[in-house]
C-alpha cells in the first residue's frame, strides 16, 4: 500500500523524517511520498532511512499558491531536489514566508493580539514557518478556542490577518516540471472552486499530471468526479492522507489503503 501526501517536521508535521519512515513501516506502507510545504529538507534523510527499511520514498513537495483569491496546493513528485531553479525558488519562498509572518503578526497586533516572532519560532521545529504554527500560538494564548477558529477569524484567505502569496499554480507546475517531476493538484475539494472543471482544464493544458482524487473526507461522489476529470484530461488520479502527525487527528498514515497501482501509473507517466 502507498501514501503520497505526508508532512514531517521540515514543515508542519510532528514526526522527524526518520520517525516518519519508521511509522510508515509500522503501517505496512511500501511506497510513501514526503511532501513538505515549500521544503525539501526532509528528503535526503527520509530516502536514506527508507532504503534501510525497504520503503520507497518518493522525493516530493507541496507548493502553496494562490489563484483568484483561492488557496491552491500543488504537489510535486519525483523532483530532482538538487535542481538549482527549484532550490532558488524554495529559498525565496522561505524568505517570503518570513516576511509574510511579520506582516501577519503586525495585523494580529492591530487586532489587539499579543503575539511575536519568538512565539511562532518556538512552535515551528523545522525551517518552514506556517500558519498552522501561528494558529497553535493563538490557541495556546487563548485567543481562539480551536485552530479552525484561528483560520476563520484571522488567518484564512481574505480574513483580517491574511497576507497574499506570490506563487501561482501555473508557476509551481512549471518549477516542478523543470526539475524533472510530476505535478499534481492537491485536495481540489478544499479549494472550493466555483468552476472546478475550467480550472482543472487550465492546469491540464499547462502540463498538470494528476489530481489528488483520494483524500480524507472526500465522499465517493467526490472521488468519482475527480476520476472523471482525470479521464477527460488524461491525468492520473493519486491520493494521500496529508498526514501531519499529531497536529491533525483527522488523518493517519495509510488510512486510505491505496494500491501500488497508483505509484506504477505515476512511474509510467514519468517515463513517457
Ligand atoms: Zn495542502
Ligand atoms: Zn499537505
Which CATH number characterizes residue 231's domain?
A: 3.20.20.140
Ligand (nearest to CA of 186): 1
| Burial grade of 70 (CB within 10 A; 0-12, 13-18, 19 or more) | middle
Ligand (nearest to CA of 72): 1
Distance 27 CA to ligand 2 centre (A): 19
Distance 34 CA to ligand 1 centre (A): 12
Q: Are 186 and 256 within one domain?
A: yes
Ligand (nearest to CA of 34): 2
Distance 178 CA to ligand 1 centre (A): 21
Is residue 190, in this structure, part of any structural domain at all?
A: yes
Q: Which of 12, 15, 9 is nearest to 253 (CA)?
A: 15
Domain harbouring 146, CATH code: 1.10.150
Q: How many domains does the chain have?
A: 2
In this structure, the number of other CB atoms found within 10 A of the CB of residue 270 comes to 13
Ligand (nearest to CA of 5): 2
Distances (CA, A) of 260 to 67, 78, 264, 265, 266: 32, 16, 6, 9, 10
Residue 175's SS3 state is helix
In this structure, the number of other CB atoms found within 10 A of the CB of residue 56 comes to 15
Q: Are 53 and 97 within one domain?
A: no
Q: Are 147 and 40 within one domain?
A: no
What integer pLDDT is reported at residue 126 of this predicted model?
65
In which domain, by residue range, is 209 found? 2-82+168-270
Q: Are 128 and 197 within one domain?
A: no
Which three three-digit cell numbers place residue 272? 513517457
Distance 272 CA to ligand 2 centre (A): 27
Q: Are 172 and 40 within one domain?
A: yes
Q: Are 222 and 145 within one domain?
A: no
Radius of gyration of the chain (CA): 18
Is residue 162, in this structure, part of any structural domain at all?
A: no
What integer pLDDT is reported at residue 30 of this predicted model?
98
In this structure, the number of other CB atoms found within 10 A of the CB of residue 37 comes to 22
Is residue 97, in this structure, part of any structural domain at all?
A: yes
Q: Are 127 and 247 within one domain?
A: no
Cα–Cα distance for residue pair 96/65, rounded to 1 Å: 12
Is residue 160, in this structure, part of any structural domain at all?
A: no
Helix (H) or strand (E) holding 210: strand 210-214
Distance 112 CA to ligand 1 centre (A): 29
Distance 205 CA to ligand 1 centre (A): 22
Distance 235 CA to ligand 1 centre (A): 19
Distance 65 CA to ligand 1 centre (A): 10
What integer pLDDT is reported at residue 204 of this predicted model?
98
The residue among 111, 134, 155 that closes a domain is 155
Q: Are 115 and 209 within one domain?
A: no
Is residue 178, in this structure, part of any structural domain at all?
A: yes
Distance 187 CA to ligand 1 centre (A): 7
Residue that is written with C-alpha cell 497536529 in the block: 247
Is residue 163, in this structure, part of any structural domain at all?
A: no
Q: Are 96 and 14 within one domain?
A: no
pLDDT tens per residue, the chain (272 residues)?
Answer: 999 999 999 998 999 999 999 999 999 999 999 999 999 999 999 999 999 999 999 999 999 999 998 999 999 999 999 999 999 999 999 899 899 999 999 999 999 999 999 999 998 876 678 898 999 999 999 999 999 999 999 999 889 999 988 899 999 999 999 999 999 999 999 999 999 999 999 999 999 999 999 999 999 999 999 999 999 999 999 999 999 997 677 789 999 999 999 999 999 999 87
Q: Are 259 and 144 within one domain?
A: no
In this structure, the number of other CB atoms found within 10 A of the CB of residue 68 comes to 10
Q: Are 256 and 172 within one domain?
A: yes
Distance 77 CA to ligand 2 centre (A): 13
Is residue 57, in this structure, part of any structural domain at all?
A: yes
Distance 195 CA to ligand 1 centre (A): 19
Cα–Cα distance for residue pair 23/253, rounded to 1 Å: 8
Is residue 179, in this structure, part of any structural domain at all?
A: yes
Q: Are 129 and 13 within one domain?
A: no
What integer pLDDT is reported at residue 71 of this predicted model?
92
Distance 117 CA to ligand 2 centre (A): 23
Angle between helices 17-26 and 43-53 (to 10 degrees): 30
Ligand (nearest to CA of 251): 2
Distance 106 CA to ligand 1 centre (A): 25
Is residue 73 within 8 A of residue 63, CB to CB? The reply is yes
Amino acid at each position: 500500500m502507498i501514501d503520497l501526501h505526508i508532512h514531517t517536521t521540515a514543515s508542519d508535521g510532528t514526526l522527524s523524517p526518520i520517525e516518519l519512515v519508521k511509522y510508515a513501516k509500522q503501517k505496512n506502507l511500501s511506497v510513501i511520498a514526503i511532501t513538505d510545504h515549500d521544503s525539501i529538507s526532509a528528503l535526503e534523510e527520509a530516502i536514506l532511512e527508507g532504503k534501510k527499511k525497504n520503503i520507497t520514498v518518493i522525493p516530493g513537495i507541496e507548493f502553496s499558491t494562490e489563484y483568484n483569491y483561492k488557496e491552491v496546493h500543488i504537489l510535486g513528485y519525483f523532483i530532482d531536489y538538487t535542481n538549482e531553479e527549484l532550490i532558488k525558488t524554495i529559498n525565496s519562498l522561505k524568505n517570503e514566508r518570513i516576511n509574510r509572518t511579520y506582516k501577519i503578526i503586525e495585523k494580529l497586533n492591530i487586532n489587539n493580539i499579543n503575539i511575536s516572532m519568538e512565539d511562532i519560532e518556538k512552535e515551528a521545529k523545522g525551517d518552514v514557518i506556517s500558519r498552522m504554527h501561528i494558529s497553535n500560538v493563538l490557541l495556546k494564548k487563548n485567543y481562539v478556542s480551536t485552530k479552525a477558529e484561528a483560520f476563520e477569524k484571522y488567518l484564512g484567505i481574505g480574513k483580517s490577518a491574511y497576507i497574499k502569496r506570490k506563487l501561482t499554480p501555473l508557476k509551481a507546475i512549471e518549477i516542478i516540471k523543470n526539475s524533472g517531476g510530476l505535478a499534481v493538484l492537491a485536495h481540489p475539494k478544499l479549494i472550493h472552486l466555483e468552476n472546478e472543471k475550467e480550472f482543472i482544464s487550465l492546469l491540464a493544458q499547462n502540463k498538470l499530471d494528476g489530481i489528488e482524487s483520494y483524500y480524507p473526507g472526500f465522499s465517493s461522489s467526490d472521488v468519482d468526479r475527480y476520476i472523471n476529470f482525470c479521464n477527460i484530461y488524461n491525468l492520473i488520479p493519486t491520493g494521500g492522507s496529508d498526514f501531519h502527525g499529531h497536529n491533525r487527528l483527522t488523518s493517519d498514515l495509510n488510512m486510505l489503503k491505496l494500491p501500488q497501482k497508483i505509484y506504477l501509473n505515476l512511474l509510467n507517466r514519468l517515463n513517457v
